[in-house]
Amino acid sequence: MVSDERDRDDDVHSQDQQHIKLPPCSNNLATALLTDAYQITMAYAYWKNNTHERTASFDLLFRKNPFGGEFTIFCGLEESLKFVSNFKFTRQDVKYLRECDFAKEMDPRFFDEYLSSVDCSKITIEGIKEGTVVFPRVPLIHVSGPLGVTQLLETTLLTLINYASLVATNAARHRLTCGDEAQLLEFGLRRAQGVDGGVSASRYAYVGGFDATSNCEAGRQFGIPVRGTHAHSFVQAHSKWDDIHGRKVGECEDFCKEAREMLKELREAMVSSDSNNSAAYQFGETNESELISFCAYAIAFPNSFLALIDTYDTLKSGTPNYVAVALTLKKCGFQPVGVRIDSGDLSYLSLMIREFMIEAEKCLERRGKHFSLLAKGLAAETKITASNDINETVLRELKQSGHSIDAFGIGTHLVTCMAQPALGCVYKLVEIDKTPRIKLSEDVEKVTIPGKKKCYRLYGKIGEPIVDVMLREDEKEPKVGERVLCRHPFLEGKRAFVTPAKVEKLLLVCWDGEKGGCPRKFYEESVGLEKSRLRVKEQVKLMRADHLRYTNPTPYKVSVSGDLYQFTHQLWLDNLPARELT
């Protein structure tokens, strides 16, 4: 696998020893112009009123975990940093914007003096490391800098983070459900929401814990392992033995003839067996076109033969045809891989396929040493891949009803996040010219926590995260072994003291425009596909099981310091218009 050159360290441009510029986003459309028109009109109104250079601070956060769960995986930071690093309206962008309806009454100097030259050299971003388990209300990234630019960044940052985090979370939930053993394969490209929907899905599904993708473009760009076998059309495309050209495989002169004989042998062995096994019974009629197509595929891929066995009838035809071709391959000195099923009752079928193979081993054992040796290990070695409309619920049900599946191919549900196709990240102004701002709402969930904040995760003695706590900027950071008051941000009665065994600072400087870009140390230690993937794995492991479970998970606590609580509520009262009772 080749990882994208643009991802390599030697391709990032050094500004000084400590800070680096990054290459452009992996999707070349993620540029300054990929934004909502109102960002341009607002930037203009700021510029017109000369407030565009005031210092503003925005929090990017979400308010509710997706999929009815109590955790989220943060992703999209690397792309966000690349976007910021290359943020610039090109001459063509400006030309286009000048011709838009809304530009008719704009002062042309806005474009010449401001928009053409604006960049992120005055922007600072603190962010949580990609792949971290995160929770509602804690800022995922905190953006500070001139009001005009901070505003202009909003839409693109949301676009880059919302879907990335959603897919990674979805993937992590699938991984949690099926355990570490199973192979998880992402097969969603054809049902994805647009080209980039497909490519991003492959990338963030991998970060969230999938093992491979079917998507070659994602493989090329990100170095994700790529997998694929064949489709039903391949089986349908074959009908005659003449469809196969060149039958020599390894030592074997006529692979097709051998496979036909092997099938005959298998049939005789199993039919003549005194077993009353239902698997044996199933084996009557087989479809010859299917056998031909399996031979064609085996001749092309003798070392990695994996057959789709449900085109005609999985148990009656596909399984015996597979076994015949697999044993023929073994006879020729190759090791077949397994089968894929794409329809029907995956629990029942996978168990029956395995049972059929156990039975085949037994029956062939009685046909002499030659067949006995060939068949030995067949059932244990065969990998069963399943791929029919699988989602988290199906994985749970399969686990409950029992199955014999080694790998799951998951498409539509994973990439479109059908259970909840959008994560509602928002980007809220929390401070302007060092004055904290609050966004009120009649819905308490939507009230923002004002000002620039310090955010920490406090861990317990066995290394489990206990609570995230936000502090005012000038407060002292929590220390190991020292008691910290953690208050619910809005409910007065909810408060607790925590004495952390470990304190982790969540928001780290990941972009400092004035110093020249992304801190090299942050980039080297924290950025990259494999690092993020490993982080997801490690972090999910640390979480208490009740936060992760499917049914009624326990909410993880997100709190504020006593100081921040008081401050927030005072500002709230100051801003809330008192209603007149009538």
Nearer to a second copy, 202 or 561 (CB): 202
* C-alpha separations of 157 from 80, 522, 570 in Å: 6, 19, 31
Tokens standing for residue 428: 């809220």
Residue 498 beta carbon to a second copy: minimum distance, rounded to whole angstroms:
32
Residue 369 beta carbon to a second copy: minimum distance, rounded to whole angstroms:
29
Name beta bridge partners: 213: 186, 226
Residue 4 beta carbon to a second copy: minimum distance, rounded to whole angstroms:
10
Nearer to a second copy, 118 or 244 (CB): 244
Nearer to a second copy, 49 or 552 (CB): 49
Residue 423 beta carbon to a second copy: minimum distance, rounded to whole angstroms:
8
Residue 219 beta carbon to a second copy: minimum distance, rounded to whole angstroms:
7
Nearer to a second copy, 226 or 358 (CB): 226
* C-alpha separations of 412 from 24, 387, 415 in Å: 29, 11, 6
Q: Indicate left, alpha or beta for 36 from its phi (over 0: left) and psi (-120 to 50: alpha).
A: beta
Residue 53 beta carbon to a second copy: minimum distance, rounded to whole angstroms:
11
* DSSP assignments along 438-488, one per residue: ----SSGGGPPPPS-EEEEEEE-TTS-EEEEEEEETTSPPP-TTS-EEEE-
Nearer to a second copy, 139 or 198 (CB): 198
Residue 162 beta carbon to a second copy: minimum distance, rounded to whole angstroms:
6
Nearer to a second copy, 135 or 163 (CB): 163
Residue 199 beta carbon to a second copy: minimum distance, rounded to whole angstroms:
6
Nearer to a second copy, 99 or 180 (CB): 99
CB 439 within 8 Å of CB 448: yes
Say which residues have a Cβ less than 8 Å from residue 82's Cβ, sequence separation at least 6. Answer: 22, 23, 24, 25, 26, 30
Tokens standing for residue 233: 């059309």
- SS3 of 385, please? strand
Nearer to a second copy, 17 or 582 (CB): 582
Tell me, letter by letter, the H, E, C secondary structure of 270-310: HHHCCCCCHHHHHCCCCCHHHHHHHHHHHHHCCCCCEEECC
Residue with tokens 């064949």: 230
Residue ranges with strand state E in 46-175: 55-61, 72-73, 124-127, 133-134, 141-146
